[in-house]
Structure 1
Amino acid sequence: MHDIIITLAEAFHAQQKQLYMVGGTVRDVLLRRTETNDAALATDARPDEIKRIVAPTHPSAVVLVGERFGTVRLLYDKQIIEITTFRDERYNPDSRKPEVCFGSTLEEDLRRRDFTINALACDPLSGHISDPFNGRQDLDAHILRAVGDEPDKRFDEDPLRLLRALRFAAQLDFSIEQETMRAIKRQASKLQKISRERIRDEMNKLLLSAHPAKGLNLLVELGLMEYIIPEVLELRGVSQQASPRIAPSKDVYAHVLRVVERTTPRPVARWSGLLHDIAKPRTKSVEEGKVHFFGHEDVGAYMAREILKRLHFDRDFIESASRVVRLHMRANAYTSDWTDGAVRRLMLDSGSDLADLLDLSRADITSYRADKVSRAVARIQDLAERCQRLQEEAERVPLKSPLDGNELMEMFERGPGPWLRPIKEHLLSLVIDGLLSPDDKEAARKIARSLLDQEEPS
């Protein structure tokens, strides 16, 4: 990536044009974060000039992201570089709001950026860093601060910045500067102006960050969660014990934050961690001094599906996350005396989401009692090992009925019809439970005849 940026900088310099690395690209270099496969650059060249200057560097693709934003996206193998024309603002006498327009200076451009740690620029040829808003000082202090003296204005320009602030806090483990935090709280309702897709993408980044619980808690405390997943607010103060003296881990909200933090940073694992107990407030009951949440996994799966639909996730993702929510209590209920058939059924029901289901089960162990945690971890490990063994067996001998539909129709000299399905399902059920070998056709025929005889009127 560095070589490509140097080549581009030399090309722009030869045409008397400025080119700087900007924003997160500079921030991540200064924080020594792992290099990514994308970079953001800014220039005083207009989009048509950008395309002409970069042509000799032979990018595999050149895409004008939008005339209004003046961004040209370049693709070099798997590396993406976006070059954006400097931006400024001008005032129309007929409007109180400024219009965004192309600018001519770097400082004008940096003044319009969201946070001081992103209002940084670096000349690739000299290495000089431009820092008009003391972003490096905030980087060193691990502080997230809006650019300028009017943080409300920064969020009014693009309300998605409200969510970006919390996402950066979660990714970088930074504290939000007090005036910036107050502005976020004041402006929270403006998140309603942002498309569900943009909110979804930011939520994904927050949940996959190194400190998702921090980001989620800020969403709640600063009033943004109300406009994203208001159901999460219902979790606060819901005790999982009848006694008023509850351990921190027994509050559903605190428990969910710990579970999310403990899951592997994969989308299905993190989202199912966030939503696995979402129905507990709506299913809570107290009987004989004991708290119950009967059916919360089924109600929760329905709620998870609706929440993810609202955020415009694709159908496959919605099905995966809601499936893990629905099955999490079954995985949690595992004991070593389960039959292989019971384990196989869990594997078949979870399908490709088994790894995320087991991951959630491990993360769901949030007790402060070491002995209880140790037993639970050993139990999930045993389940994972049995799943692995049974999966290896299934790869050698696939789980299927010894007789397929064609064989059954030939055997009974009958055509297709509703009579077939219960026989096939029963034979497969016996195979899953280990009571019938997948290749034992003779035994399967006897069972099939017996079943059909029972169905036939005497």
Structure 2
Amino acid sequence: MHFPEFIRTLKTLYSQAGHDLYAVGGCVRDQLLERTVTEYDLTTDALPETTKKLTAIAQPDVLYTLGEKFGTIGVGWGETRVEITTYRGEQYEPGSRKPNVQFSATLKEDLARRDFTINAIAMEIDRPALIDPHEGQHDLDRRLLRAVGPPGERFRDDPLRLLRAVRFAAMLNFRIEEATERSIRERAHELQLISRERVRDEMSRMFVGPAPDVALLMLADLGLMQYIVPEMLDLRAVETGGGRHKDIFAHTLKVLKTVPDELIYRWAAALHDTGKARSVGWTEGKLHFNGHEQLSERIARRALSDLRYDRPMVMAVAKVVGMHTHTNSYHPEWTDGAVRRFVRDAGDQLDALLALSRADITSYHTYKQEAAAQRINQLAARIQQLEEEASIGSLRPPLDGHDLMQMFDRPPGPWIKPLLQHLLDMVIDGQLAPDDRKAAETIVRQRADNREGESR
């Protein structure tokens, strides 16, 4: 087993001070699975104040104490992060979202309060030896996720472990042990005890992981999604006419698996069709989901806001979801102005929108897949061509609001925006040069005269 030199230095410092120091948790699990380790969790009998003093001697690049009240001191050397936590136990009081943390006396007690056996293995740092009282290494060999001790107690201690079980099972491609799975189903409702920020963070980790589709399916099957984004479950109830139409939930899983592993892309993929459950309809035997994009966008805004994502994240995902069918309506007869307008509307999320559109092609018919892919590729090529000719996103009308106020000797007001939008539309459509102020002045005067004539 390999540890960086600075961790070995820490071990020496702790030993000289009469304290224990072991590697534990994910870094041990991942070393045993021969996975890359970038973060190290260490555990000790030393209290946080002592940990701060000992780690300072090792001269880390950074030392942070954000988790000190929970017994954790963080340090870093270069890109490597290390968290050192005092042996502890923690438990949630009924109805509380914050754990009560108590420091433990021994490593054995600390390992007994951990979530799953594969995370309850400690490792000596200065010699090749494991401390594995709960047979976690055996479960690693069996690719099995099993709670430490009675599953109900572990999930009662911290209901966030309900989500962690799904994340680890999906990430590692492990099977959840029967008693552990049964307890997850029974205690799914206890997710409501957890702050939405903690739920958000677990969902983010799942969605940028290697198998977000597996995680989403498990969340639905285990009854957890009901307490995260319940609208996702509605997709399973949509009647699409059997084999004649694709299963919307299964389609969502395919799209989620296909998009790049960026959080905006993954959430947009998961939510892009949620509005279909509320817009499904049949006309003359044909299935349709009129307006589902707008419904899905509203669901995305509500769901991500409820999970306490920041406003830029919410707005980005909502935009991609709301526009996700625009790409598929592209036709070579679109004018350059129409393409420019599409790019401006997409804004910073153009790449995410194109990626979702490509992933959204899941038809059972090969010819339909090929036609849709060709359409998206043609649009992307048009966009690139126009971007090379002029920066679409920076297009502006020749005049601004101050120019209009001066021209018409009028104060600021809602009358300005329609005139500026008209000029911008003409620029986008190639009917007006961005620097042709004289022509722009003529256009707005004529437009103002026409409106004045209409009002007489």
TM-score (norm 2): 0.91
Identity of aligned residues (%): 47
Q: CA deviation at 1:151?
A: 1.2
Q: Is 2:72 the counterpart of 1:74? A: no
Distance 1:190 1:266 in 2: 29
Distance 1:33 1:123 in 2: 19
Q: Give the equivalent residue in structure 1 for 2:336.
A: 340
Q: CA deviation at 1:168?
A: 0.9
SS of aligned partner of 2:390: helix
Aligned alpha-carbon RMSD (Å): 2.3
Q: Give the equivalent residue in structure 2 for 1:166.
A: 166
Distance 2:287 2:205 in 1: 35
Contact 1:398/1:438 (<8 A) preserved? no
Contact 2:118/2:137 (<8 A) preserved? yes
Contact 2:344/2:392 (<8 A) preserved? no
Contact 2:29/2:119 (<8 A) preserved? yes
Q: Any residues of structure 2 matched to 1:41-440 within 5 Å, and which?
A: 41-66=42-67, 68-87=69-88, 101-148=102-149, 150-240=150-240, 243-246=241-244, 250-395=246-391, 398-412=394-408, 416-440=412-436
Distance 1:121 1:263 in 2: 37
**Residue identity matched to 1:19:** L
Residues 63 and 269 of structure 1: CA distance in aligned 2, closer, same or farther (over 3 Å)? same
Contact 1:305/1:319 (<8 A) preserved? yes
Q: CA deviation at 1:396?
A: 8.9
Distance 1:452 1:51 in 2: 71
Q: Which stretch shifts more, 279-288 or 132-141?
A: 132-141
**Residue identity matched to 1:169:** A
Q: CA deviation at 1:406?
A: 3.6
Q: Which stretch shifts more, 399-408 or 313-322?
A: 399-408
Distance 1:365 1:70 in 2: 49
Q: CA deviation at 1:66?
A: 4.7
Q: Give the equivalent residue in structure 2 for 1:445.
A: 441
Runs of 5+ consecutive residues of structure 2 not aligned to the other structure: 92-98
SS of aligned partner of 1:7: helix
Distance 2:108 2:176 in 1: 24
Q: Give the equivalent residue in structure 1 for 2:26.
A: 24
Residues 394 and 70 of structure 1: CA distance in aligned 2, closer, same or farther (over 3 Å)? same
**Residue identity matched to 1:305:** R
**Residue identity matched to 1:383:** L
Residues 369 and 117 of structure 1: CA distance in aligned 2, closer, same or farther (over 3 Å)? same
Distance 1:443 1:67 in 2: 66
Distance 1:310 1:420 in 2: 36
Distance 2:250 2:393 in 1: 45
Residues 438 and 66 of structure 1: CA distance in aligned 2, closer, same or farther (over 3 Å)? closer
Q: CA deviation at 1:442?
A: 3.4
Q: CA deviation at 1:109?
A: 1.4
Residues 123 and 223 of structure 1: CA distance in aligned 2, closer, same or farther (over 3 Å)? same
Q: CA deviation at 1:60?
A: 4.0
**Residue identity matched to 1:215:** A
Residues 25 and 397 of structure 1: CA distance in aligned 2, closer, same or farther (over 3 Å)? closer
**Residue identity matched to 1:318:** V
Summarize deviations over 1:145-201 as a string: whole Å, max 9, x none: 1112x1111111111000100011121121111111111111111111111110011
Contact 2:118/2:145 (<8 A) preserved? yes
Q: Which stretch shifts more, 98-107 or 383-392?
A: 98-107
Q: Is 2:10 the counterpart of 1:13? A: no
Distance 1:177 1:59 in 2: 40
Summarize deviations over 1:407-436 as a string: whole Å, max 9, x none: 444555555454433222111101111222
TM-score (norm 1): 0.91
Distance 2:173 2:333 in 1: 43
Aligned residues: 445
